[in-house]
Amino acid sequence: MRVLVTGSAGRVGRAIHARLCLEHDVLGLDQTPSPSTDLVGDITDSTFMRNALRGVDAVVHAAALHAPHVGAVDDDVFERVNVQSTRALADLAVDAGVGQLVFTSTTALYGSTPTLTHAASWINETVEPQPRTIYHRTKLAAEALLEALARRGELAVTVLRMSRCFPEPAPLMTAYRIHRGVDARDVADAHALALHTTQPGFRRFVISGATPFEAEDVHELVLDAPAVLARRAPALVEAFARRGWALPISIDRVYSPALALRELGWQARYGFDEVLRMLDAGSAEVLAAAP
């Protein structure tokens, strides 16, 4: 299958490109030249995008302005890049006979979802997002327009809402990996499976690292996270103790990837132990803990 990956020069885009190249004929597209970029250009350029879509069977749309751009880029630019260009890409894909589109979205959309003081939020696809920033709002708007197009039967669309996936201080990143973080390689696997399991219409999945927690833990996670961790994740507790790190006192949310496991057959392979391995190997993907 010939797959066009937009945003192929970014961290997640590179991981997706590398993963899909194992099985497909992949074209990477980005405005930044890189080893994973075959087509250099602007996704807001309709002529460039029309030519890029020739002969393409599926599109993975990972290109976007992100959270770090908030405040540094005008809101109308966010609207143009994240919403208008997504609409134009989808329309051009339909015109070009593309069968499916996988959209890389974010669990940051849930950022303002109310969390009760006495219970953590158990976040899955049924929870209504409450976006805070222009980044969140434009990603949600892009999801909505793609859903409307898919519901009309014009294109099969899968939205993947990925959780935190960027370098952070090691203790934070290690703890997040079991309730609100994910490895870029696991995100890439989810995109590959979305292409393999395509079906008409619209699908949406939360993509986050495997969690040992159960929905019944939500009250105790807020009040006494170390007790729950001792019960559910003793290996993590031991690793924190060995390194002299303090466990999180309270955990306010858990992103559940259960639907992706059930319907895509996706399961995260790189858990908290991989974060520790990367830290010890000096990987730039994990920031050193503060002394």
- Catalytic center residues: 135
Both tokens of 193, joined, read 């499976």
- End-to-end distance of the chain based on CA atoms, in angstroms? 49
Both tokens of 67, joined, read 């959270």
Contact yes or no for 101/157 (Cβ under 8 A) = yes
CA distance 98 to 63: 18
Amino acid at 264: L
Beta-bridged to residue 4, according to DSSP, are 27, 59
